Structures are given as C-alpha cells and as structure tokens.
Structure 1
Amino acid sequence: MLLFPFILACSQGKYHINGILNNDYNGKYVKLFQFQGDTLITSIDSAKVQKGKFSFKGKANVDEFAIVTIGKYPYVKSVEVVLEEGDIRVYMDTAFVASGTYLNDLHNSLTSEINRLYKLYYDFVEKKDTIERNKAHDNYQKFIYNVTIENRLNLVGRRFIADNKSAIWPLENLVKLHEKLETLQRNNSLVTQADIKEFQEYWDKNAELEKEQAGTVNSQYFDFVLQDTLGIQRPISEYVGKSRLLFIDFWASWCSPCRADIPHIKEVYEKYKDRGLSVLAISLDNKRTAWKSALKKLKMPWGQLIEVNGTDSDLAKAYQINGVPYGILLDSKGTIIAVGLRAQSLEDVLLKEGLK
C-alpha cells in the first residue's frame, strides 16, 4: 500500500526522455510506442535525431511498458522504457538501456541481478559442484520470491514475475508464492491456480517424455538420410561404427543453450577423441543459411548434418526429441547406451564406459 502514493504521483506527472544515438541516424525519426498487454498500439510520438540526440515529453503512464525504436526490420534498435515522471535517459548506441527514474533503474537492477544469479548457478553446474550449485539455486529462488513480494504492486514487479515464474521449482515453491500473494492481495493475478496447474502438467508431461526417451536405451539407433554442409545426402549409418562410441548432438542455431554447450562438448571431444569417442552434430534448423552461419562461428571439428524439417520431423519423433539440446550416445554396433546428454553428463557416461 505504501507504493500507491508513489504510483499515483507518477501517473499525474510528466516524463522527459533524453536519448542518445549514433550520429549515423541523424535526420531519421525515433518512434515511441505504448503497449497494452501484449499488443502494440499506435505510436505516441516521434522525434527527429539531431547530432546523435533526440527527446520526448508527455504525461507519465506507469500502467504498461513503452518502447523507443528506430530502423526497419531486421535492422531495428529498441529500448523498453517506463514512462515515469522525471528525466529518463535512453541510450541506443553502445548500450541499450533506459535509466534515471525509480522504475527504470529498478528494471535494470533486477534484470542484472537475476542474470548474475543464474550464471553463478550454471557455473557451479558446469563445475559439478553440487553443494555450491544447490546454494546458488536457493539464492536464485529466494531472489525471485522476495522481488515478487516486494514489487507486486508496480509495473516492473509484475513484468519480473511474468518473465521468471516459470523458473520457480519445485512445485512447492510456486504454491508457497501463490499462497503468500493471496494473503497480501486476494485473487492475485501474478501467480494463479492456473499457473500451478500448468506447472504440474508440464512436469508430468516432461516426466512421461523422459520415460519414453529412456525407453530407447539398449535399442538400435534410427537411421535417416540427411544433408551435409555441401547438400549431399548422407545416412546417419555412415558415421556409426567408425569408433568405439559416437555422441550425436541434436541442436539448432537458434538455441542459445545448444550454442553455449558446444565449447564444452569440444573440451570433452579433445579429451576423449583418441580414446574412442567421435561426435556427429545434427541440426534441427529449418533454414540452411542460419545453420551455415552458425557453423562458421562455432567451428565444430566433427561431422555436420541437418534435418530441414526441424522438430516436426520424423527423426525428432523417432528419437523422442521434444527440445534441444539433446544428445545420445551409441556404441560401435549402433546401440543407444545413453540419452538426454549434454557435455557434463556425457563425460560422466564416458568414464562409466571406461574411456579413461
């Protein structure tokens, strides 16, 4: 309730945006749009860029985020901004951020902190440090919980929970947050019974999928004819049986976790390639251009194939692939001996298989 006077005051005041852009945009127009829910409505205002600067003025509105944008797709620069009372600085040059007022600064700090906490957690996952990983995960969860409670009445808090509630697990934590919000504000719309039901259905479905994937272990691999980087048709069988073990990495250029895991797969490959490990990457990209562009940057030293029908392909259905990254390990006879692998779990399996 203490936030209401602040929000009311902002809604009655004026905002003043001072923006900075590259001089290359001089003479062009920056546009300011307002959102209503998830729908973009008409432009509120436009401003001409002069000497790398632009400005907007108007009545404050802290009900929905706005966006400052310039350029045409796919060469668009944009920054989200809360049209809050006061002087707002919008940077669209080397940085892309709105700052200078309470809610805009809060939005930046929450985004920065949640990213820091997640990276810390993921680093301990990579290091296989279970104790520190669990501590980092607890801190990550507590941060989401506390931010939600403290900022439930403002725009930034509502956006934060919308963006991060899917990261709350196990189910008990989401239920706890729902109950707390219900106590503070009956029939809250941030974490609802529908969210809890959706969470439960997701994990039930995920558990069923993992069971189906595990069911392929000890069975023969599924052979498909795919395209290589030259457009030549090659069967998966061409790569099977050439080494003691073959790791098949299903990935896609648009998948950030896939790309983040590839350097670690490289480390495992370099460590075990002379002990009987080979790797084959199968992309589920729909566009060969995006795939080839990613290959140039990632420089993977192993075979590359693409399934241009992506996650809707017969290959994805055969291997029970619901999402990427997803890796499987075959022995020299083509028998699937492990599924659901990434770099860390791959090395664990290799050690169990005696590749020391």
Structure 2
Amino acid sequence: MTKQVEGTYIVNSQFVVYVLSIPGRPVYRYNALRTVGKSVCFVGTEMGKFGSLSGFVRYLEAFALLFYQFTLPLHKAYKQKRNIYQAMKHSIGRILAAGAVAAGLAVQTGCTGEQFHVTGSVANAKDSVLYFEHNGLDGFSTVDSVKLDEKGSFSFAGDKMDNPEFYRLRIAGQIINIGIDSTETVEVKASYPQMATDYTVKGSYENEKIKELALKQIGLQARCQTILAERPELADSIINVMLTDYKRDVSRNYIFKEPMRAYSYFALFQYIAVGNQARLIFDPAKDANDNKVFGAVATSWDTYYPGTERTQNLHNITIKGMKDERIVKAQNRPVELEAKELGVIDLPLRDNHGIERHLTDLKGRVVLLDFHVFAAKGSTEYIMKMRDLYNKYHDRGLEIYMVSLDNNAHFWKEQVASLPWINVYDDTGISQAYTAPAQAFPIIYLIDRGNNIVKNPSQIRNLDEEIAKLL
C-alpha cells in the first residue's frame, strides 16, 4: 500500500490543508484562515517532506479538493465531500499540472509571506470604489481597489520593501496618506465624504505622525486660499510668512527630531496650491535652509536605508540644491561676461585638470561649443559621434569646447578623462548666457575662426556639413 503522509501543510496565507492517513483512503480536512483570493504560495514543498512522490501527489489532490470546495456553495457533509473527491479524480491530472506550474511560479517570484496589511472601513461610502495606490518616485500607480458595500470594509496587502514606502487610500478626490515600514498592519477607519480629515489610524506611530502633518498641510492650504480671496494684493508676502512659520514648526518638531522616519520623508514633499500652481513647501532649489533640511533626512536615510532608491533620490535633490544655491549666488553678484567686438561671450571655466580655459583664447580655430550632461540617457552614443567629428576635422582646425552641466563633478571627471578635446565644468551658472535662450537640443553653437557665433542650436541642420563649410 502506498505510504501516506500525515500532518498539516500550509498551502498559502489563507488555507491550511490537513492530510490524515487512514488505511485504504486519505481523509482531507481544511481550515480557512482568512478570505479567499490570494495567489498560491507553496511553503516547504521539498519532496522529502512528503515522503514519496505518491505523498506529494496526495498533497496536491488535497489542494485540488480544497479549491473545488471553495467554488461550491453547498457541501455540508463528509459524504458529499467524498463524492466530490471521486468526481475530481477524473480530472486530477490537469489540476496537478496547474498546481505544479503554480508551485514553480511561486518559487520564481520569491513569495515569502512577508507582507504588510492595510485594513479598516469607510462609513457612508456604499458603492464607492476605494483605490489603494502606491506613491512611487515616478508617480502614483494602483495596487488594488475594491467596491465598498454597506459596511465599507476593506483589506489590502503588499510585499515588504527594504525602506519605508508610501501609499494612499483614495475615493475620488478624498485621500488618506499611508506610510509603510516593514510588515506592519495599519488599521484605518474613516467617514466619507470627508475622509481626508475625518479618519483614525491604529497600529502605526508613523501614520499617526503622517496624519498630523497632513492635517497641518490642509489647514495651511485653507488659510492660503482665504488670503488669496480676501487680500490678493498682499497675498504673496503674507503666504511667504505663513510658509516660513510652517517650515519652522515642521522642521523643529518633526523632521529634525526623527529624520530617519517615514513621516520626515513625507514632510519634505508636502505642497500647497497657490493660484492654481503647485508650490513645494520645502523647496531646496530656492532656499538654502530647505536644502539643509533635505540633507538631514538624506544623511539619516543613508545610515538606516543605504543604497535604496529613495535614499539616492534624497542625495540627488540635496546635491542639486547645493548647485542651485551657487547659481543663485552667482546671479546675484556681478559676473563680468564681456561681449567682445567679435560677438562671442567668454566662458572662463576650469577644465578637468584645474586649468582655467577661455573661449576667447580659441580665436583662429573653428569651435564647436557644446553644453552636455554626461549623466543623461544616450550620452555614450552622443560622445562617440563627437569623437568621430573631432577625429575627422581636428587637424583641419576644429576644436570642441564642451561644457558639462552635470551635478556631480567627480562623475564628470571620470567621464572626460580620455576625451581629447577641451572639457570644462560649470558650477557657477555662467553658461546660462548660452543655455537659457537655446530653443533646440543638443545645445551646440558653432564659432568661426574670427571668434564669431555663426550658428545657434536651432540653425544647425547637418552638423558635419556646417563644420566643413567653416573650415
């Protein structure tokens, strides 16, 4: 007689199958732990656990029966179950094949059972669709949705991430922001149609803080709208004062206290709408103090969540803010950009060896003035084309003066180490004399031997031909 395997086997997070060995036939029992609906996730399905191939087959038969029983509304007695089992044996081969595929997919997708859960209810929202959306770096994406019944109950789940992630519950324009850290369960109870403000959250310190910040933001928005309506002539100055007070409160009482927290990251990206224009509350591109706040969170996240995408995003924003601050300072101090009698505007910038280079020193040569970002997509292919032009025309008098607009000077130096032409780095903003009026990309100007600009970006149709004409 075929050896039977006795014991409890977890099929997935919803079901437990119990296989009991009885002489002559197996008896199958099951226990539904939670709502049906999740994909199969086999746990511990090593062959040795079942004793034999026959044991594994019996296990899959148990799962097949379990699945079938959940599709039938009526199965009250063991006798009925046995009849169903006998009927299922005729098609068990196909079910076994499907089960094997499901097991393989489960292994491939790394279904570990480590998930977070967001549960709760929304009152007064019968027949409304509740969306559970991920707030990623690239925007919002729908994770799941449910049409609410009279009770308004919902339950969503998602895979654990290596760093805090952000989600939202949404019905139409009413939004509840949720921060998720590890495998926690967050319980939310809300009332529609004011669920954005009329809700409670349990089981999560992070989300209690996020709620506080969200309510502060909503209050600030309301006050700004009132000022715009009642005192439009003074609105800008008053709103600036309100924003300064808000940032002082949030940075001191939230962000600087626990910069490693999800709610601190959330606070950095709050915004208000002023005159139909979205305006960041903390704007590192315009305020050096705001950039310091970003830097505090970036440093903390680098310690707690090193190498993650959100940590890198914080670093990128902080570095860009530092560069923008230098540009603003450069714009606010007198910068001598002499327009020579021959028309070119000089660009006194240092190259990758620390030597100051001048565009005006290249009089007598045809110059391809190129403003480039080495970190941009397609940069490698673009540089190869520039190298071909340089090799073709350099001996005839062509020089390339390439200005890097990258955020990272170290990265730029690595990229230009083997390039034969003049490479300079702009960390002052002086290049805006050329980049601001440009109406086409790439931003290339052609300068003749007399130091005159003869072609701007929008005038260049065939770069190779234009260079040949000037030579």
Name the structure, 1 or 2, with higher relative contact order (CA <8 Å, separation 6+): 1
Larger Rg: 2
TM-score strictly above 0.5: no
